[in-house]
Amino acid sequence: MTALAIAHRAGNSLAGLHAANALGVDVIECDVHEHRGRLEVRHLKTAGPLPFLWDRWELASASAPRLGLAELLEADRHDTTFMLDIKGRRVSAARSVARLLHESGHHRPVLVCGRWWPSVDTLAKLPFVRPVLSSRNRTELARLTRRLEAGPPVHGVSVHRSLLTREAVSGLHRHVEVVMTWPVNDLAALDAVLDIGVTGVISDEPAILSELRARQATDD
């Protein structure tokens, strides 16, 4: 299987969506948060009553406009395959996503991933959803392995690159079609993950996604 080119966080803005589609990537990922009853796509997190959004090295005003998931889906003109990374530990967010997809008539295949698997399982009940279970550390990877062995089946997994070896990838492929990894932001990392059998490359870098698309064309 040719590895999928997955644009990390590109769906968190309309500019990112259009740029990733221009590259011809296979999947566009976005981070979905439920905030005060609204589904928003953004990487930055809220800070309770404080008037800002934050990540480790970034701050933004909480009053700045935020892109909604409904707006993102409405703006798509390329039949994009989205990967919705459901944030938080509330199944209500997944239920809200399911309701939005139904009401918007979005029945094309969509990948749904997350480290909080009950949310993924909730959305996996929809026939067009392809569930992807994520793990970022060794404890989560061990739990992921047990989950795959016990079932129910899922479409794929997304595992941090630092946790993967050839043996680990081979073991995961016994249970799932797609083994994704991140971050893959330089050529050395791209060559390394492809060499051990990864079939989904999650990258922030347009140059890496373009290189992978070029290799896909050669393989075809």
Average pLDDT over residues 120-141: 97
Which range is least confidently modeled, 26-30, 42-46, 143-147, 206-210? Answer: 42-46
Task: Return the SS3 of 6.
Answer: strand
pLDDT digit string, tens, across residues 16-49: 999 999 999 999 999 999 988 899 998 655 445 5
pLDDT digit string, tens, across residues 64-77: 567 999 999 999 99
User: pLDDT-based confidence at 114, cuts 50/70/90?
Assistant: very high
User: pLDDT-based confidence at 218, cuts 50/70/90?
Assistant: confident
Quote the tokens at residue 115.
């480290």
User: pLDDT-based confidence at 53, cuts 50/70/90?
Assistant: very low
Average pLDDT over residues 136-150: 97
Which range is least confidently modeled, 2-16, 42-56, 130-144? Answer: 42-56
Residue 99 belongs to domain with CATH number: 3.20.20.190
> Vertex 168, ends 8 and 153: CA angle to 5°?
75
Q: Which of 103, 156, 161, 107 is nearest to 136 (CA)?
A: 161
Q: Which of 121, 133, 116, 119 is nearest to 179 (CA)?
A: 133
Domain interval for residue 134: 4-219
CB atoms within 10 A of CB 210: 15
- pLDDT score, position 57: 47
Q: Indicate the average pLDDT of the chain.
A: 90
Q: How many domains does the chain have?
A: 1
User: pLDDT-based confidence at 58, cuts 50/70/90?
Assistant: low
Which range is least confidently modeled, 48-52, 144-148, 178-182, 204-208? Answer: 48-52
CA distance 139 to 137: 6
